[in-house]
């Protein structure tokens, strides 16, 4: 049985990675009301299906109003209650609007910052044909919030590729990516910390803060 056949939505079969967007509209314990949007027409904000509160999320329900994307929908019938349960794995995404998509394979190399001078910096990357090569960037090519990472010997990924914009125009892009989390509100970080505490209890772990590691070390070493 597939989620699609049960709910009459284009969710695909159990092995298909569907690309439907979800909006959590209510939240109760481990269950959530999830509206499903067609990702291609997400800007219309019209749900193509609404799952009942029996929908269980593998990951915890997000805050009401959050917009996510379903990465794989499966469905199974519970023998005990004969009720259908749809198991979805939802991830938060920033926005459900159509994204700019890359139409050609992007070329990505790992670069190491060599030197930062004024508003320029040089980096070294490895070219299998030509060996180590030096390339010069503008500092303002690095996102403002990434600039703290811009120091000698720091590594980043440099991707160059073609993209097609929403209006059909094509452009060449150069993307500098330092490994980091996306923007995060402090409140969300605290929520993550609280949930990690709960999960750690399940696992029988006691979470520690760095000072406690230090204390433990000091105790062991007298």
Asked if residues 142 and 154 have their Cβ atoms less than 8 Å apart, the reply is no
Kindly state whether residue 111 participates in binding another protein, applying the rule CB under 8 A. yes
Q: What single-letter DSSP state applies at residue 129?
A: T
Please check whether residue 44 is in contact with residue 59, taking contact to mean a CB–CB distance below 8 angstroms: no
Q: Which of 25, 38, 125, 164 binds another protein (CB under 8 A)?
A: 125
Which one, 4 or 61, has the nearer CB to another protein? 61
Query: How far is it, in rounded angstroms, from Cα 101 to Cα 40?
Result: 13
138 is a site residue for another protein (CB under 8 A): yes
Interface residue with another protein among 131, 167, 169, 222 (CB under 8 A) is: 131
Residue 5 interacts with another protein (CB under 8 A): yes or no: no
Residue 2 interacting with another protein (CB under 8 A): no
Among residues 22, 43, 26, 178, the alpha carbon closest in space to that of 91 is found at 22
Among 39, 48, 50, 92, binds another protein (CB under 8 A): 92
101 binds another protein (CB under 8 A): no
For residue 29, the minimal CB distance to another protein (Å) is 16
Between 11 and 69, whose beta carbon lies closer to another protein?
69
In angstroms, give the least distance from the CB of 192 to another protein.
4
| Closest to 90 measured CA to CA, from 21, 40, 39 | 21
Cβ contacts of 12 within 8 Å, gap of 6 or more: 2, 3, 4, 18, 73
Using the rule CB under 8 A, give the single segment among 6-14, 42-50, 74-82, 140-148 that binds another protein.
140-148
**Under the criterion CB under 8 A, does residue 85 sit at the interface with another protein?**
no
Three-class SS state of 5 = helix
Applying CB under 8 A, the span of 13-21, 26-34, 46-54, 195-203 interacting with another protein comes to 195-203
State the binding string over 38-67 for another protein (x if CB under 8 A, else -). Answer: --------------------xxx-------
Residue 221 in tokens: 């070493």
Q: Which of 65, 118, 204, 222 binds another protein (CB under 8 A)?
A: 204
Interacting residues of 213 by C-beta distance below 8 A, sequence separation 6+: none
Give CA–CA dist 204/201, Å, rounded.
5
């Amino acid at each position: 049985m597939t989620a699609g056949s049960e709910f009459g939505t284009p969710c695909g079969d159990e092995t298909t990675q569907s690309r439907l967007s979800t909006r959590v509209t209510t939240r109760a314990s481990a269950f959530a009301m999830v509206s499903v949007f067609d990702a291609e027409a997400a800007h219309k904000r019209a749900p193509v299906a609404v799952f009942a509160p029996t929908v269980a999320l593998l990951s915890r329900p997000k805050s009401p109003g959050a917009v996510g994307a379903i990465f794989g929908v499966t469905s199974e019938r519970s023998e005990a209650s004969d009720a259908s349960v749809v198991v979805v794995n939802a991830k938060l995404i920033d926005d459900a609007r159509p994204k700019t998509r890359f139409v050609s394979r992007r070329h990505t190399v790992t670069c190491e910052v060599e030197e930062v001078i004024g508003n320029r910096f040089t980096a070294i990357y490895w070219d299998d044909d030509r060996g180590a090569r030096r390339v010069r960037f503008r500092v303002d090519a690095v996102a403002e919030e990434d600039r703290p990472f811009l120091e000698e010997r720091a590594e980043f990924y440099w991707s160059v590729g073609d993209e097609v914009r929403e209006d059909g125009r094509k452009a060449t892009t150069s993307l500098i990516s330092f490994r980091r989390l996306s923007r995060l509100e402090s409140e969300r970080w605290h929520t993550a910390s609280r949930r990690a505490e709960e999960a750690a209890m399940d696992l029988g772990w006691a979470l520690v803060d760095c000072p406690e590691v230090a204390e433990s070390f000091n105790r062991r070493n007298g």
